[in-house]
Structure 1
Amino acid sequence: MLIQLALTGILAALVPLAVVWTSSDRNKYRKLIWVTLFLTFDLIMFGAFTRLTDSGLGCPDWPGCYGHADPVQAHAHISAAEAAMPSGPVTVKKAWIEMIHRYLAMGVGVLIVSIALVAWRNWLRSARADGRFSPLLPSLLLALVCLQGAFGAWTVTLKLQPIIVTTHLLLGLSLLAMLAWLAARQSEHAPVAAYAHALRVPAGAALMLLGVQIALGGWVSTNYAALACLDFPLCHGTAIPEMDFANGFSLWRHLGRTASGEFLSFPALTAIHWTHRTFAFVVVALVGWLAHKAIRMAGLQNAARWLLAAIVMQLATGLATIFLKWPLVLAVAHNGGAALLLLLLVMLNYKVRMPAQMASDRSPIHLSAA
């Protein structure tokens, strides 16, 4: 089974690798990073779809499915579980969603291994003077993807324990952020205004606050608290409803239970939802202000416009999710919007920390190794 799964991961990576190696881009290392970034974003979106369709336990073991490498071989076990509990966590459809998510994750893992190998090869051979080929960040990416795999396993074996699922989400987004920084480091940039350094602190603060908000959003999703408040801007008809923060934000507990094993109360779910909703206004205000400032600075206008569009879209999908009672498409889009905001803020942070003359001095690097 393990050999079959390993071969599946390699096969999942072959198409993007072929796209990279046959492309006309002479800097194929850069191309590899951008392709991996794109697929990591897709993986995060599909991970959200997996979670929101309750497919996280579609195969209740790990890394395979009932000891097999794919749902076809495990069809008898899956069908028996579905027949015993038709609306339960194991169905044929959910098993396929879960295993496709795992296959995509393995493919991304192979691509990150490739990035690390190419980085080390070029660093050791001839590119040590060029910081863009430092193997430090690719090596950290490799370590992080291994940790992410471990949390993926614990997500299943610990039966969707909220803190494990939320950490799994945050590690996936950390991979995206690190890949975005690595991609920015490889790319050419328009010269940035010399006074753009004034945005370093607010840009860093916006990135950190977005990270907190994403963690809160993950906590909402993993605790199924998205519909705890169905009105807006009030919650249950009041600005500050009855809430149970102690149990709602007790981290080490089973899904739907308090730390003492009792069922999680509705006020606890309300506390989770209300906190995420309220903190969103802080993030929207800071990101909106940051984009407003950046849009006036040379070299930052495009990033600022994208950032404004993304924050408006994220606010709209969040509100629509409440009023339309959590349709799947909007819920997945809201997760994707958070990932897009993270990616854009990482890029903006890179630009405001980039020396003004760097972009004009850069030229493409031709790597026979890549």
Structure 2
Amino acid sequence: MQKKFRQVAKVALVLVYFVIIAGAVVRMTGSGMGCPDWPKCFGHYIPPTEISELQWQPDTPFKKGQIIIVDQTLQVAVEDFNTGSSFDRSKWKTYTKHDYAEFNAAHTWIEYINRLFGALAGLATLALAIFSLKLLKTNKKITFLSWLVVFGMGFQAWLGATVVYSLLEPVKITVHMVMALVIVAFILYIIHETKPLAERPKTHKNIVPLLWLVLALTIIQVVLGTQVRQFVDDRIDLLGEAAKDQWLTNANWQFYVHRTFSIIVVLLNLLLAQRIYKYKLHFLKINWVLAFLSIEVISGIAMYYFDFPFGSQTVHLVLASLLFGVQFYLLLEALSAKRSYKSS
């Protein structure tokens, strides 16, 4: 049973990472407001593909909650009805949560796919929680954490809605990203704690403090990175897509701290790897850490020196979340190995 439960947890983890990837694509393409409402999209469960679907038309049925664009405002149908020969304002109310009233089919569907991945990940974590009930008698902590993940996903969905309603406020985007990493951490903990004891490494060298430091710096880098990304988004709005060579001119202080910290992060991870290799600690995931970190650095250099090659921003963000996940799991292994060594 525990083996099957662990498999479900791994599926949930993969789907959560798919949500992170989809979210990165949303940011790269500027599709965050592709769906101006939540959880529906322009009042539809399946979003429109043509602007004509969001325009008032005579002799047309509309459902309650359906949204159209009228005079650069969003108008919501107050009931089910068929339109007459002229626009009847009494049948509509102005959408008041924000005043963004634009339609771009590509942006809408990118954001919609992001939400679909979120729904799939939510179902996967719910399945995980239901499966965990069978472990209630033997491991109450795993059951508790599994249900905590479900509530975390619900909170994350609510955060997603607040991001839309705030017109992509930077602070809320950052909190949304950090919450995704918290959910990843909970699922990784569940996966680690259901791993057979015989498969866990043992060590006589305490690298836990260094791992905590490395992980903390990665989290700081992620937070700073979201702030830098918001600065870049603002520059894109100001200068346009064609002026990539100017996006980082007169950069904010977060960019320079982010760039400096990257050097410290690399050096500390190399120190960590040196200790693991020197003392033969058998923490094989350090190889993944070094691989992700290398590509992360390359993508960062590419954005700065080669004017944001296509996909580099998405790769940079996704790899940061993957790096966090592997480092966190490595920390769990080190903590477990330390306990095993002390008790042996």
Q: Residue 262 of structure 2 aligns with which residue?
A: 280
Change (3 A) 1:127 1:76: farther
CA shift for structure 1 position 286: 1.4
- Out of 146, 152, 162, the residue aligned to residue 154 of structure 1 is 162
- Quick check: 1:213–1:280 contact (8 Å CA) kept in 2? yes
Contact 1:116 1:138 in 2 (8 A): yes
Name the CA distance, whole Å, in 2 between partners of 1:27 and 1:68: 40
- CA distance in 2 between counterparts of 1:151 and 1:134 reads 25
CA distance in 2, matches of 1:220, 1:78: 35
Q: Give the secondary-structure state (helix, strand or coil) at the position aligned to 2:311.
A: helix
> Which 10-residue stretch deviates more, 266-275 or 148-157?
266-275
Larger mean CA deviation between 65-74 and 30-39 belongs to: 65-74
CA contact (8 A) 1:50 1:56 kept: yes
Q: CA deviation at 1:141?
A: 1.1
Q: Map Cα deviations across residues 280-326 of structure 1 (whole Å, 9 max, x no partner).
A: 12222212211221233445342122211221111111101112211
Q: Does the C-alpha gap of structure 1 residues 111 and 279 become closer, same or farther in structure 2, counting only changes over 3 Å?
A: same
* Residues 349, 330 of structure 1: alpha-carbon distance in 2 compared, 3 angstrom cutoff: same
Q: CA deviation at 1:225?
A: 6.2
User: In the alignment, which residue of structure 1 is the partner of 2:177?
Assistant: 169
1:114 to 114, 127, 140: 127
Which digits, 9 at most, give the CA deviation of each residue in 1:41-70, with x for residues without a partner? 121111101111000000111111111112
Query: How big is the shift at 1:90?
Result: 3.0
In the alignment, what sits opposite 1:222? 230
- The residue that corresponds to 1:94 in the other structure is 107
Deviation string 1:3-48 (CA, Å, 9 cap, x unpaired) is: xxxxxxxxxxxxxxxxxxxxxx982111100111111112111110
1:194–1:356 Cα contact (<8 Å) kept: yes
Query: In 1, Cα distance between the equivalents of 2:232 and 2:282?
Result: 38
Inter-partner Cα distance in structure 2 for 1:39 and 1:273 = 30
Give TM-score scaled by structure 2 length: 0.76
Alignment of 1:1-370 (within 5 A): 27-72=3-48, 76-77=52-53, 90-123=103-136, 126-128=137-139, 134-188=142-196, 190-196=199-205, 198-224=206-232, 269-355=251-337
Distance 1:333 1:62 in 2: 27
Contact between 1:193 and 1:297, CA under 8 Å: does it hold in 2? no
Structure showing greater radius of gyration is 2
Q: Please give the alpha-carbon distance, in whole angstroms, between the structure 1 residues aligned to 2:181 and 2:250.
A: 26
Output the CA distance in 2 between the equivalents of 1:356 and 1:209.
Answer: 22
Cα distance, 1:226–1:217 mapped onto 2, change above 3 Å: farther
Which amino acid in 1 is paired with 2:113?
Answer: I
Q: 1:44 to 1:171 in 2, by over 3 A?
A: same
Percent of residue pairs identical:
23
Alpha-carbon offset, residue 99 of structure 1: 0.6
- Cα distance in 1, alignment partners of residues 148 and 304 from structure 2: 38
The answer as to whether partners of 1:300 and 1:351 remain within 8 angstroms in 2 is no
- For residues 96-153 of structure 1, give each alpha carbon's deviation from its aligned partner in whole angstroms, at most 9, with x where no partner exists: 0001101110110111111112212321xx424xx7x622221221221111111100
- C-alpha distance in structure 2 between counterparts of 1:204 and 1:122, whole Å: 30
CA contact under 8 A between 1:120 and 1:135: conserved in structure 2?
yes
Does the 8 Å contact 2:133/2:143 carry over to 1? Answer: yes
| Corresponding residue SS for 1:52 | helix
Q: SS of the counterpart of 2:267?
A: helix
In 2 relative to 1, CA 334–351 (structure 1 residues): closer, same or farther, beyond 3 Å?
same
How much has 1:268 moved relative to structure 2? 7.3
Aligned residues of 1:192 and 1:298 also touching (Cα < 8 A): no
Separation in structure 2 between the aligned mates of residue 147 and residue 332 of structure 1, nearest angstrom: 24
Q: Provide the rounded CA distance (Å) in 2 between the counterparts of 1:311 and 1:89.
A: 38
SS class of match (1:195): coil
Over the aligned positions, Cα root-mean-square deviation in angstroms equals: 3.1
Contact 1:56 1:160 in 2 (8 A): yes
Residue type of the alignment partner of 1:285: L
Q: Deviations over 1:309-366 (max 9, x none)?
A: 221111111101112211231111111110111111011101111146969xxxxxxx
